[in-house]
Each structure stands twice: as C-alpha cells, then as structure tokens.
Structure 1
C-alpha cells in the first residue's frame, strides 16, 4: 500500500490536476496524471515482488550490566531467484532502550546476504524484548511498501549494578555468636586447612606465631570442619517501603542485594534468595543476577508471614542479610525475632529518597527512624548499614570494615 509519502504524492497530483483543469493547461494536466500514477505503479511493484528471505538477528551479548552497549546485527539472505528490491527493516524497541531501529537493505543478489546493525545502550536493570522485526518491500522512491516478513523478538537481560565488596567475617559455626565464631571458607578442602587473618574475638591461643613472623600479620590456625557455609539474602520488595521498580531507592536496594549475594557466593557460601512475596530458593551467581534483573515491587502491607517462614526454616549458623527501607518501630521486633534463628545478621537499610531531597521535617523523621532501628538491632547482634540512593555500598562497607580493624587494634 502507499506510504505517507505516496499519499502525499497522490494528493499533490490531484491538486495539480484540478489546477490544470481550471487553467486549461494540457502539459500541466499530463504532469498531474503522471504524479498520480507513479504511486499506483509503485504499489503494484511491491505487491507483486516475491521475496524469499532468510533473516537472523544476533546480539553481541544477551546478558549485560548497566551502561553496556549491545550491538544488534540483522543478516538478510536472499533465497529467491532474482535480486531483491529495496527492503525496509524496522525493529521495535522498548522505550527504555530508545526509538525503533530502522535500516535499509537494497539490491541483494540471489544466494547472497547482507548484514546491517544498530546499537542500544542498556542503562537500567530489567528484561527487555527486542522486536518483533518487521521487513517491508519498498520501491526506490519510498512511495509504497508491503510487509513480507515478521521475525520474533530476542530478549536482553540487564543485570543490576553490582559493587565490589568483601564478604569476609559473615559466617558462623556452632552455637557461638559475634566475631569469635567467625570462620573464613575456602573453595576446596585442600585450601581449607591453612591460616587466616585474625578477626577481633578469635581465641588468642590459636594464633600461629611462625606465620605471624613470616607475614607480619596475626594469623589463626584454620582447622574447622569443611562444611560449606550458608546464607540467606532477603529483599523487602514492598512498594510501600521502597517505592516502585525504577525509583532510586528500589534500584539501590536491588543493587545492594546483588552486591552482597555475589560477594557471599564468591566467598564460598551457599546462598538462598527470598523476597517479600517468595520463599527462599538456592541461587548460583548467574541465577541470582538473572532473578534480580526481573524483580519488581509488590503491593503488600506486611511481611510478617514471610519473616515467620524464614525464621521457621533457618539454621542456627546460617548468615542472614536483610535489604530494605528503614523499618518502622513496630517492625523492628519482628526483625529481632527473625535474627535470633540465624548466626551472623546483616541489615542494609536504603533510604527510599535521598535525605537531601526531602523536606527538613521528613528527613529528620526518616533519619530518626533509621537511627532507632539501627541502635535496637545492634543491641541484638546485628550489623547495620544505612545507605542513601545516591551513595555506594562499597564506601559504606569499607568504612565499617575500617572501624572494625581500628577496634581490633585497640583491644591489644
């Protein structure tokens, strides 16, 4: 059928024909008829063009981190017996990735192919579908086109932003609590029976002095069992506390969960992931990032039932990491009860909005709520971090680690 340009040409031809009749000009009349006929000829041309195509879409990478540029290549092969006419390719894109991509391929000889490409920059976490890819046969003047092929879409998964942090000191064993029960896990039994650095609270009788002399660091004999440590990462994904998916607070919380989860997995932990509306399930590093890429906010008023389920399935030496917004005063006791069933307990509270973006009264209320929750949980053995949407977990984590090292040095 005629394109927008074709209909404009038809309208211009008709207007010219009317003018020719009024002026009585034979030449102008012939020109008007020609302008009207050309789009009709173009329409018949594209309708009768028999194009046999083999089309493939290839992505440079289907799993990426934010900020990555993905190159999409489309290969069109001519399987017919004649040279292909002009082809217009239009690949639909979601709004977060930009406008629809449009490409032109022309004059592909029989049994040959041509590759065209475009690129998109993935700026936000999520699952995005590229396509469908629609192919039109068009005339050289773009006056008419016909749909000849539709290719299904391809999925691009954009992982959350992940920061590099160290998970040392987040495992416990036995019934002890605090830093005295910390152990560092290694990836194989051959590495396990070795030394590790001293952590505040370790038994001083386990210091290995020859290693201290060699490394000039306090080293502890590592001869505990080789059972793999476990950790549970819980995300309070309620929209009422962190906002909707895409908001600064929600995205920062997802990023914090990805950073913690990856650090735990790379340190040898067996990690399970739970959210406000899903029970814990074991995840690998790839599955963790893939799951977090698609998590959205849920509409729930309370997570008491979920926390009760976590507590009921907990093991005493499992590490717990909770990521959410600063809890209300009535939610702190539930978190304390949940923590009593685990070993090491960690909480990362993300402000839904940066304090600088709130009114003075709102900022004071939010900061007071966060400080009260942190003080209450720390009294029951929790390690608590407060994180702004425009801050980085790496800086907060490093600051806390530095304080622990200074405290350990002062204890000697």
Structure 2
C-alpha cells in the first residue's frame, strides 16, 4: 500500500482525493450509487499500481559519445541505444538521461512496445560550454500505466565520460623563437664562446645572480657586466600560470552558455569568448603550450598550486624530467579541470619554476600582480632576455553586462592600471618581453606581438604598453 501511494502521479492523487470525497458524501447522504462510484474510483489507481509493480523488464544501455574530448564552446553528439533484453515486448517506457547542469537540460524520450531483443537508438547533443570532466548518465526509466495514474521509476548505474578541454587557438610563427625552423632535442642557441677572454657579456640587470658578474669586462667598461652562458632554446620550455583567486575576476558558473545577466566581454567575432580572466589564461596556456610542444620542446607547466604532471604510462621507469614533461594531449587533459587556487603570492611558484624550468625559455601568464609579487620571480629567472610575460588587464572583464563576483569602482580600476604599468616596467627592466592582454584581445593576437627572443623588445618599450 505504501509503494502504491508513493507511485501515484498527480492525476492519480487527484483521482484518489475525488474518490474519497465521493465516498464521504455517499455515506453522509446515504446514496448507495455514490458509494459504488467512489469504490470504483478508489480501486482504479490501486489496480494500476499493482499492474505496474508486477511488470518485469531487462534493459541494456549503451552510449557512444562523439567526440569524447570536446573543446570548450563546441557540442558533442551522444548516441543512446536501449535494448530490450527481456523475452517479452516492453510496455510504455519514459526515459530520461541525467546530465550535469553545465551540459544543459536532461533529454527525455518515449519508447513504446519495444519488441524482445530489439534496440531503439536515440540521439541528443550536449553543449560543452564549460571546462571539466563530466559523466553522462545514468539512464532513468519510468513505467506508466495506460491511464497515467501510477509510475514506477528506476535508475541504472551506467554512464559515459565526457571531457571538455580548453580551446586551442591556431597560433602563427610568432612567440619565443617562432618561425626559425622545427627545432628539436638538439636545437640550442650558443651565446657564449669558449675561452675566458672571449666570453659574451651584457650589462647587469636587476635580479641577476652576482656570481655571474664578469669582473674583467666590468673593469674594462666601467659598468657592472654579467656573463652570458649557453642556454638551450627549444629543447625545453616552461609555462607559469597564475591561478590565484585574488589575481582574477571570476564569474559565477550558473549553468551552460553565456553568463546569466548579460553578454560576456570578448573579441569581436568570437561566439564563445572566455567568461573571465582565468578562462582566458587557461586558453592561452593550452594554445601556447601546444605550440611549444609541437615544436619539439619538453614542456613543464607550473601553477601557483604546484606543477601539472602527466600520468606515467611506462610505470615510472622513465627519467623524472621526461615523466614530468607534458605532451599536447596530456596538457589539455590537465587544464580541463584546472580551477582557481588559494595562493597568496608567486614565491612558491617561482621557487618551483627555478627548479624545473632549467635554462629554457619561460612564458609566464600572470593575472593582477604587483611589483612585490614579481620580486622572487625576477630573481629566479636572471639571465638573457629569453623569458616572456603576458600580463592580464583583469579590469577589462568587469565591463557592464558581465556578472562577476566582485565589481570594480573607478578607484579600483585606476589602482589596477597603475599596478599593471609598474609590473610591466619591472619585468622590462629585468630583461623580460612583456605583452598586455585584455578581454578584447585574442590569444593569436597576443602571440603575434611576441617577437622572437633574438629580436629583442620591439621599439625599445614594453609590447602592448607605451614605453
């Protein structure tokens, strides 16, 4: 009786209420026909509940997700195949597929009288509006009687994975060392020559290691000079990602599609722009990291929460450096679930970067940072100007129409602009190439502004910032 009552639909509950009312009126007025009608009305939902409860079925479910790894902003198609594994013909089945809220509404299907051993194929699409690892399913099946009075619901345990990875933008031949051949494991840039008298030197910059001071050249020129050593060019590269919550303006993830309450600021012509500065940073890391890895670089990725490392398919027999290097596919898989962290400064990340980056070039993707945040980073990366910094103008993601966690006043915007200018000046003085990115700029445009390291800083100033 308890199962029957809990299985009643809204129509069934209304019918039971009507039957109870008729029964009460018939007993009160002494009208036997009303009592007879009430008994019939009350018996109908109970008979339907017993009939539905006695139904036996065996269902097989199979999902095919194409593709199983989809870039953010694109859709994936799912083929849902339901097989009647019973020897009897199925009745009326109402099917609904459980989906995470980020992928859109859960689709529903109706399958009626599916023959034994027959398969019904149904297709639906999911919108990969947000990065992450998701699971499609399980399938929920509802059995309903012909009158719609009683339903029985059961859920399976099956499911299929779907990974929404960052978009990889097609980058041109710019960037550090871009457009100079394929590179590879043996590609190196020779800066120093053999012999103490012929060693290459340059002027001392803030943050340089004093142990590299070349005293003979200093005495000859009257200016503090440091020694340039041979450094690998494309054999190794590193990315530094500033994922601190305090360094970004983050939107509220309230479901698939654009941010509720207004349009997301972005470059013209982009139908699915990054919804906040962190998403832009992740997309830039995916695009730049993929480009460097395809050029033959052993890529290491450091975030403010630690290093991103791949799984070891060889069981951990490879060298530690080789195990930590990320390929293009592994990079996208790790970035798919990368979120904001609770770090307060860049010190731990700079120390880790100093250990893993070696002598290869570094591309630092930084949020709202000040000169105090950059002190340890500059000290950890002294030497020739092979490193690149992309500074995000996070204030541009707080334009009207984008609902962010925290708004920006005019005073806050001015403070962020001044901090951005100071940080760019500090990095330029330490020999870094610098480019500023805001919500209206694409990753391709920023990459094109990065001159090869051999070309130096374009125009004698900071790329994207007036000198």
TM range (shorter): 0.7 to 0.9
Distance 1:298 1:134, change over 3 A: same
User: Does the Cα contact within 8 Å between 2:249 and 2:394 map onto a contact in 1?
Assistant: yes
1:397 aligns with 447
2:237 aligns with 231
Distance 1:100 1:141, change over 3 A: farther
User: Does the Cα contact within 8 Å between 2:304 and 2:348 map onto a contact in 1?
Assistant: no
- SS, match of residue 151 in structure 1: coil
User: Does the Cα contact within 8 Å between 1:242 and 1:324 map onto a contact in 2?
Assistant: no
1: distance between equivalents of 2:106 and 2:330?
A: 30
Distance 1:64 1:379, change over 3 A: same
The alpha-carbon deviation at position 297 of structure 1 amounts to 1.1
Distance 1:72 1:384, change over 3 A: same
2: distance between equivalents of 1:320 and 1:130?
A: 38
The alpha-carbon deviation at position 35 of structure 1 amounts to 2.8
1:298 aligns with 341
The alpha-carbon deviation at position 61 of structure 1 amounts to 1.8
User: Does the Cα contact within 8 Å between 2:285 and 2:365 map onto a contact in 1?
Assistant: yes
1:386 aligns with 436
Which aligned pairs between 1:3-402 and structure 2 lie closer than 5 A?
A: 3-21=9-27, 26-166=32-172, 168=174, 170-171=176-177, 183-186=180-183, 229-244=235-250, 248-279=276-307, 281-316=324-359, 318-340=360-382, 344-354=386-396, 356=399, 358-399=408-449
- CA shift digits 1:166-200 (9 cap, x unpaired): 3545249xxxxxxxxx95334699xx9xxxxxxxx
The alpha-carbon deviation at position 32 of structure 1 amounts to 3.2
User: Does the Cα contact within 8 Å between 2:346 and 2:373 map onto a contact in 1?
Assistant: no
Distance 1:27 1:391, change over 3 A: farther
The alpha-carbon deviation at position 373 of structure 1 amounts to 0.9
Question: Unaligned 5+ residue runs, structure 2?
Answer: 1-6, 188-230, 254-274, 309-323, 401-407, 460-467
Distance 1:321 1:43, change over 3 A: same
User: Does the Cα contact within 8 Å between 1:127 and 1:156 map onto a contact in 2?
Assistant: yes
- SS, match of residue 297 in structure 1: coil
User: Does the Cα contact within 8 Å between 2:138 and 2:158 map onto a contact in 1?
Assistant: yes
2: distance between equivalents of 1:312 and 1:188?
A: 20
Structure with more of its chain in helix, by fraction: 1
Distance 1:92 1:148, change over 3 A: closer
The alpha-carbon deviation at position 19 of structure 1 amounts to 4.1
**What's the TM-score, normalizing by structure 2?**
0.70
Counting matched residue pairs gives: 364
Question: Unaligned 5+ residue runs, structure 1?
Answer: 173-181, 193-224
- SS, match of residue 330 in structure 1: helix
1: distance between equivalents of 2:233 and 2:374?
A: 32
Distance 1:276 1:399, change over 3 A: closer
- SS, match of residue 237 in structure 2: strand
Distance 1:349 1:15, change over 3 A: farther
Q: CA RMSD in A?
A: 3.2
1: distance between equivalents of 2:384 and 2:98?
A: 48
The alpha-carbon deviation at position 74 of structure 1 amounts to 1.9
2: distance between equivalents of 1:406 and 1:239?
A: 31
Q: Larger RCO: Structure 1 or Structure 2 (Cα < 8 Å, ≥ 6 residues apart)?
A: 2
2: distance between equivalents of 1:102 and 1:373?
A: 53
2: distance between equivalents of 1:3 and 1:28?
A: 24
User: Does the Cα contact within 8 Å between 1:126 and 1:293 map onto a contact in 2?
Assistant: yes
The alpha-carbon deviation at position 85 of structure 1 amounts to 1.2
